[in-house]
Structure 1
Amino acid sequence: MSRYSVSFQLYSARFFLPVEPQLAYLKEVGYDAVELWPPNYEEDAKTFRRQVDAAGLEVSGMHMPLAGLVAEPRRYFDYAHEVGTKTLIPPYVPQAERVPTADFWRSVGDRLRVGAELAKAEGLKVAWHNHDFEYVRLEDYSRPIDHIMDAAGPDVEFEIDIGWVTRGWADPAKELTRYADRITAIQLKDTALAGTDFDQGWTPTGDGIIDWPSLRPLFDGTRANLLVVEHDRPSDWKALAKRSVDYIKALVG
């Protein structure tokens, strides 16, 4: 039996509401859990939790705004308890807020560290989720991702998004190795060749350019027991979900 559970980031199906039949379908095709984004729980977390429970799924984690982790921690801690997850995942720094300096990116890590300290007292944990911009070199040739993770400290985990690592022109194998002791979830997000317009260049897992079989052995060297499917703009979310979970389960055995 595989050590890995497979989760579906519901952001991927945000244009195909309502969510309740999505949950039933995800369970039917083989998912163990779902990963949330704020609209899933901010309006009515209790109802959403009932729907997830009824579908027989777990909540593997919830994406949330970084600003909320420090400015409104109680609000998001309560959401986490209500939906039944222990993992809060700030996934993004808006472009307008980014400053291309080491000090700025260390300040992002500092905010994560403070949030993780607060979360720990609640029995919760914090994990960072990357995009491509964390791999763009600064003037001193250092990388935002390294400043973030160093300043955040060991209590902040890492949900690594392999698709965005690839689009950031970094080497997924090196990143899986570099942060093996921090990685607790791996997003098996796949991408087509640069310049592909269809579905913004994203593909179901296994249909793109990422060499998953070569990366597979590195998964076991991380702390991860969770693999996550995500796609930013699928034209057919059901096909995405089924193709991806089938491929992942064959990949990990």
Structure 2
Amino acid sequence: MDFSYQMYSARNEASLDQTLKTLASLGYKQVEGWGGQFADPSALAQSLKSAGLTMPTAHMGYAQLEDTDAALRIVDQVGIQTVYCPAPPSEDFRTGGGDWAGFAQGLAKIAAAFKAAGKGFGYHNHHWEFGKDASGKTPIEIILDASPDLQWEMDLAWVVKAGEDPIAWMSKLGSRITAVHVKDIAAAGQNADEDGWADVGHGTLDWKTLLADAKSKTQAQYFVLEHDKPSDAIRFARRSMETLNGYGV
């Protein structure tokens, strides 16, 4: 299994080129991009090539994706195969006031354009997508119901943060899950300076078992390591890869 690294985890590193080369030296073959990296797609593509890495997946914000033609040009220049919208477009969705059905229709329209271009498109969850509406539907279901072309990148740790069972969701919607964010949650009261996240294998989630479940219950092609606020992005990359290599997956 080739693990990827979400570059948002390294957003505070001084040198992109050096970071990519370091990730390659640690055994990474792939990285996942994020919206702030795409100001110069050609330069990004060259940096990836120089490091011997590929970027098969990426995050682009909804506002960026609304100019779908421009987003697809970036995808082509960098060599991206699948893009995931990382979050809803405004704070309203995070506080219970967002129009999830309307947002889902917007995502479905983008998915159709990506499919026509031979690319994949989907959505990445946080914890906001699991509160039920009056009909008993969760936002993640509303999104995926909007189009069969919409994929799901399951951020498993955020599913747990939402108080949900990720295995149950894998069993229910595994055919729509094409990527998994491999992220760990620190024990209660630990890593407060890192917002309670942990390096993979140094937190509370049983990732050896979870990876086996993801492989058997979903269509996930990409397993992307992420830490939302690491105090040391390279330490996170190194220790997490060491853990995963120890699992023999």
TM-score by length of 2: 0.92
How many angstroms apart in 2 are the aligned matches of 1:202 and 1:15?
Answer: 17
How many angstroms apart in 1 are the aligned matches of 2:212 and 2:38?
Answer: 35
Question: Is 1:106 matched with 2:90?
Answer: no
By how many angstroms is 1:15 displaced? 0.9
Match of 2:123 among 114, 124, 128: 128
Structure 2: any 5+ residue segments left out of the alignment?
A: none
Question: Is 1:55 matched with 2:73?
Answer: no
Residue 131 of structure 1: SS of its match in structure 2? coil
By how many angstroms is 1:140 displaced? 4.7
Map Cα deviations across residues 130-186 of structure 1 (whole Å, 9 max, x no partner).
0011113335543111111112x2211111101111111111111222221011111
Are the aligned partners of 2:60 and 2:83 in contact in 1 as well (CA < 8 Å)? Answer: yes
Are the aligned partners of 1:216 and 1:251 in contact in 2 as well (CA < 8 Å)? Answer: no
Are the aligned partners of 2:182 and 2:224 in contact in 1 as well (CA < 8 Å)? Answer: yes
* Aligned residue in 1 for 2:241: 245
* Aligned residue in 1 for 2:178: 184
Map Cα deviations across residues 8-38 of structure 1 (whole Å, 9 max, x no partner).
0110011112111000000000111010112
Question: Is 1:27 matched with 2:24?
Answer: yes
How many angstroms apart in 2 are the aligned matches of 1:110 and 1:155?
Answer: 12
Structure 1: any 5+ residue segments left out of the alignment?
A: none
How many angstroms apart in 1 are the aligned matches of 2:136 and 2:4?
Answer: 35
* Aligned residue in 2 for 1:155: 149
How many angstroms apart in 1 are the aligned matches of 2:155 and 2:68?
Answer: 24
* Aligned residue in 2 for 1:224: 220
Question: Is 1:82 matched with 2:81?
Answer: no
Question: Is 1:137 matched with 2:132?
Answer: yes
TM-score by length of 1: 0.91
Aligned AA (1:38): G
Question: Is 1:199 matched with 2:197?
Answer: no
Match of 2:12 among 11, 15, 18: 15
Structure 1 segments, 4+ long, off by >2 Å, are 94-97, 136-142, 193-196, 248-253
Question: Is 1:212 matched with 2:193?
Answer: no
By how many angstroms is 1:218 displaced? 1.4
How many residue pairs were aligned?
246
Aligned AA (2:170): L
How many angstroms apart in 2 are the aligned matches of 1:238 and 1:252?
Answer: 21
Aligned AA (2:15): P
Are the aligned partners of 2:63 and 2:89 in contact in 1 as well (CA < 8 Å)? Answer: no
How many angstroms apart in 2 are the aligned matches of 1:117 and 1:184?
Answer: 17
By how many angstroms is 1:217 displaced? 2.5
Aligned AA (1:132): H
How many angstroms apart in 1 are the aligned matches of 2:224 and 2:4?
Answer: 5
Aligned AA (1:181): S
Aligned AA (2:45): R
Using a 3 Å threshold, how does the CA distance of structure 1 residues 13 and 226 change in structure 2: closer, same or farther?
same
Are the aligned partners of 1:216 and 1:252 in contact in 2 as well (CA < 8 Å)? Answer: no
By how many angstroms is 1:213 displaced? 2.7
Quote the sequence identity (%).
Answer: 31
Residue 93 of structure 1: SS of its match in structure 2? coil
Residue 13 of structure 2: SS of its match in structure 1? coil
Residue 227 of structure 2: SS of its match in structure 1? coil
Aligned AA (1:18): S
How many angstroms apart in 2 are the aligned matches of 1:50 and 1:146?
Answer: 38
> Which range is displaced more, 137-146 or 104-113?
137-146
Are the aligned partners of 2:195 and 2:229 in contact in 1 as well (CA < 8 Å)? Answer: yes
